[in-house]
Structure 1
Amino acid sequence: MVVACVAPTARTRALGLLRTVQYTHPPSCPCHGQPSHHHNHKHSLTNLFKNGNRGVTTPTDHAGMKEYAFEMAASSIRFGPGSTREVGMDFANMKAKKVVVVTDQTVAKLRSMGTAIEALEKEGIKYEIFSDVRVEPKDYSIKKAIEFSKRVNGDAYLAVGGGSVMDTAKLMNLYTCFPEADFLDFVNAPLGKGLPITKSLRPLICVPTTAGTGSETTGTAIFDLVDKKAKTGVAHRVLKPTLGICDPLNTRTMPSAVHASSGLDVLCHALESYTAIPYNERTPRPTNPILRPAYQGANPISDVFSFKALQMTIKYLPRAVRDPDDFEAQSQMLLAATLAGVGFGNAGVHLCHGMSYPISGGNKGYKHKGYDVPHSIIPHGVSVAVTAPAVFRFTAASNPERHLAAAEAFGVDISNVRREDAGEVLSEALKKFLYGLGDQPKGIQDLGFNSGDIAGLVEGTIPQRRVLMLAPNLNEDVTPQREELSKLFEDSLAF
């Protein structure tokens, strides 16, 4: 191994860097930050530096074995006001001949879309526009977009819009590159077949116009599976965009309500990925690297991105919601969304997102204020945030230190807080933060749900295995898991 040849001085510096990343608090190392987990081994990365390749073997028996490695994957990111003007040159550099441009009806009328099209035309890039993306997409809206993509058969994609637009573009790209695939082939199991994606896709550049999903960095695409009344999607590294162009000028047209709900998605991305189970507690260990999931559990690199995104969201989201002319806050929230995307795109999310999917999929007609769409809608950020106070009260027992570190980020003095009170302290901090954002639902009752809906919401959460497996403190067996989820939904009725 190359590591074995590192000179003593360089090796010492490398070890010091690793220790800085792994043991700085916050964020702390996910293994040593988990007092309930006991390990008989040292960090595998540190061992490699200490021992070179002596005694390091590649395991072949994976049955029941925990993960031992993590991977980092994220799109290339360009951040800066006015950077949308460069997108035509990017496609010219890629030798693209015809670009499929993906957007929605609202963004199609905005300056961000106009700037992108002008950039394509300036470079002589041919394009076809699909502008019928549905905000909070359904499976049928995704299929309509895929049909368009197959017919046009461009050699590259450009998404200009929010998470719905970017996720739709990812799936258009995927199923055009796999034209014979059944729609459920790559959809996350058990709702779909969860087949691995075996080849690279065509170039995709994403230009986010909201500051929330972080979809410009991730290999995840989410939609509603209508007949199951549940959200699901496809998650694989090859879906991640080639480039995300994060231009703060493009978020200045966001209404206050969209700033709030998209920012709540950033908040939960950061908190969930920071508190997810450690990567080396996840089972099973993959038999082949291609089978390693995109959502791997908390790790020393994702921690850095997630915790920084949490701090930025706490500082800047209230300002962005309160003052539409606070361009510094808007710009910083776009950056926070991207940082959180890198964090959760590799560590994963857990209960807030898993529970949000049946909330969104089972909408009884709620339409959030400030959204100019012709249909009922529970914005994704709202659906994740309404359970957050209950969720983090529940998960805190798995790692009180991390939950206290999060509470401290909200401004709580934790110097005299007992470890066993970490969940309650963080829950109260979250409530105070949500109250401070103004006109937000204070529980799922405000979205039209009542105690009679809990059993259905639980059954809609159970299939979200991809995220539930990363939930700390949640029982792995389905029967007690149902009881725990039922209690969480009950505690989320109102706060």
Structure 2
Amino acid sequence: MTSTPVGTGTEHGPETVFTWGGPALKFGVDAVDEIGYDVAQLGASRVLVVTDPGVAATGLPHRVVETLRKAGLNAELFAGVHVEPTDASMKEAVEFAQGGDWDGFVAVGGGSSIDTAKAVNLMTSYPADLYDYINAPIGLGKAPAGPVKPLVAVPTTAGTGAESTTVCIMDLLDLRVKTGISHPRLRPVLAVVDPRVTLSLPPGVTAATGFDILCHALESYTARPYDSYPKRRPEERVAYCGANPVSDVWIQHTLPLLARSFRTAYRDGDDLAARTDMLQAALFAGLGFGNAGVHIPHACAYPIAGRVRGFHPVDYPDEEPMVPHGMSVVLTAPAAFRHTFDANPERHLWAAHALDPATDDLGEERERLPEAISRLMRDTGMPNGLSGVGYAADDVADLIGGALQQQRLLTIAPVDVNAELLEGIFTEALRVW
């Protein structure tokens, strides 16, 4: 009698397996002061601390370096991260790190610093052309050849969740689009999350990064379910596997935190309780979307950020035009969730109620979540749609082309996405209210 092998991944039918992962966590006021001990436990001896000039000016990265040195580690600082990284700035960081024989990395900053550290870790561990690793179809989407060095993330903004995720995002300057690299080995091994380090965030940055949390949560919660995909072999499973029961739990805790504290953190940056809620929300959303994935608003955000011409956001560096990542994501979110409503009305309605119970009184159910988002946008100084950051109807076709390149994200959407659907979303998003 012969038996059929189990778990070979060759079975036909729907997926029956989902994957979920996250970093080790240390959360709390003054947690950053213990980082020397934490990194030493990982076996590292030569550590590169990665940050951007703005965060460096606060003194926090220098404090981290000294804490590492007091623990007996050889620690150096790279403070040249570009806010909203580009392929060029990633390469500059990699060139700085090459030859340093680092056996550990610490990223101090927002998503820009953490994502840059992920790229530095990958490219110094397994040197190659950057496009070898960038997601297909823009790049080759190759996996790292093996394990990378330990990376510890110290987030200084409440938004990206990069301390929990397997992706690093960048602008490709020649293509004028945002994309990235995605692989489970890029995930930090430890996230050291200290609410006190976010007290200096100005309102504009608090708002933009806060909307990144919101969209991470909403997109992963409404993502296509993991068991709606065809069965995959183990080696074919991707970091973003679709909505799943474990990710859902994190998101169900994220939205009430945002509802309670987003507006407070924006108005009163010194409110430590609100800052703590926002960092917890960012962390929880990262643990959710870092496994379930994000979809239409993030796919639309990449060309919005990559093709910006003359917009300069409040409280960000003014050297060049930019649309901060969280802002670029939320601008299309009300329209996007209007179009995904029919895929799962129950989840859209739960999210709307969690964010703003007053939307329960709206007669048109599909408008409740868009309205909850737009009210929060108005209360935190967001631009009124794409027109508020310099786009017009004539730009819609170009933005559609950029969004269609983000197939890694669009396949996670709960509805089929084509140019016609994106035209409706971008057009509606020209003005939100």
Q: TM-score if structure 2 supplies the norm length?
A: 0.96
Partner residue, 1:286: 232
Residue 259 of structure 1 is matched in structure 2 by 206
Gaps of 5+ in 2: none
The change in CA–CA distance for 1:135 and 1:113 in structure 2 (over 3 A counts) is same
Structure 2 residue 409 is matched with structure 1 residue 491: no
User: What is the CA–CA distance in structure 2 between the aligned matches of 1:249 and 1:60, rounded to whole Å?
Assistant: 46
Once the two structures are superposed, residues 392-419 of structure 1 have per-residue CA deviations (whole angstroms, 9 ceiling, x without a partner) of 100001000000101111233677877x
Partner Cα distance (2:5, 2:337) in 1: 38
Question: Could you tell me how far 1:56 is from its partner in structure 2?
Answer: 9.7
Q: Does 1:246 align with 2:188?
A: no
1:130-169 equivalences in 2 (<5 Å)? 130-169=78-117
- Choose which of 156, 169, 177 in structure 2 pairs with 1:209: 156
- Which 5+ residue runs of structure 1 have no aligned equivalent? 1-53, 476-480
Q: Summarize deviations over 1:122-168 as a string: whole Å, max 9, x none.
A: 11211221111000001000011111111323110011111000000
Task: Provide Cα deviations, 1:51-72, integer angstroms capped at 9, x if missing partner.
Answer: xxx9994355367x43221011
Per-residue Cα deviation, 1:429-468 (whole angstroms, up to 9, x for no partner): 211121122x211100111000111111000011101110
**Quick one: which amino acid aligns to residue 423 of structure 1?**
R
SS in 2 for 1:152: coil
Q: Match for residue 4 of structure 1?
A: none
What is the match of residue 97 of structure 1? Answer: 45
With over 3 angstroms needed to count, the CA separation of the structure-2 counterparts of 1:249 and 1:360, relative to structure 1, is same
CA shift for structure 1 position 474: 2.4
CA contact (8 A) 2:393 2:430 kept: yes
Counting only pairs closer than 5 Å after superposition, residues 360-375 of structure 1 correspond to structure 2 as 360-375=305-320
AA in 2 matched with 1:244: A
Do the aligned residues in 2 keep the contact of 1:77 with 1:217 (CA within 8 Å)?
Answer: no
Alignment match, 1:43: none
Structure 1 CA distance for aligned equivalents of residues 171 and 121 of structure 2: 18
The 3 A distance-change label for structure 1 pair 401 and 417 is: farther
SS at match of 2:235: helix
Amino acid at match of 2:406: Q
Aligned pairs for 1:210-249 (under 5 A) are: 210-249=157-196
1:342 aligned onto 2:287:
yes
Say yes or no: does 1:428 pair with 2:374.
no
Do the aligned partners of 2:160 and 2:213 also contact (CA within 8 Å) in 1? Answer: yes
Secondary structure of 2:192 counterpart: strand
The corresponding residue for 2:390 is 448
2:25 aligned residue (57, 77, 83):
77
CA–CA separation in structure 2 for the residues paired with 1:408 and 1:109: 40
Structure 2 CA distance for partners of 1:61 and 1:120, relative to 1, 3 Å = closer
Amino acid at match of 2:30: G
Q: Which residue of 1 aligns with 2:56?
A: 108
Which digits, 9 at most, give the CA deviation of each residue in 1:169-217, with x for residues without a partner? 00000011112x2211111110111112231110111111101001011
Distance in 2 between residues matched to 1:414 and 1:493, nearest whole Å: 23
> Equivalents in 2 of 1:307, 1:339: separation in Å?
9
Larger radius of gyration: 1
| Partner Cα separation in structure 2 for residue 369 and residue 202 of structure 1 | 36
Q: How does 1:319-358 map to 2 (within 5 A)?
A: 319-358=264-303
| Aligned partner of residue 195 in structure 1, secondary structure | coil
Residue 135 of structure 2: SS of its match in structure 1?
coil
Does residue 471 of the first structure (1) align with residue 416 of the second (2)?
no
CA offset at residue 118 of structure 1? 2.0
Superposition pairs for residues 379-394 of structure 1, below 5 Å? 379-394=324-339
Deviation digits for residues 227-268 of structure 1, max 9, x if unmatched?
Answer: 111100011111000101001111011111111110010000
TM-score by length of 1: 0.84
Is the Cα contact below 8 Å between 1:145 and 1:172 reproduced in 2? yes
Alignment match of 2:146 (pick from 196, 199, 207): 199
Does the Cα contact within 8 Å between 2:259 and 2:356 map onto a contact in 1? no
The aligned runs of 1:24-39 (5 Å cut-off) are none
Instruction: Give the number of equivalent residue pairs.
Output: 430
CA distance in 2, matches of 1:242, 1:161: 16
Q: Which amino acid aligns with 1:234?
A: I
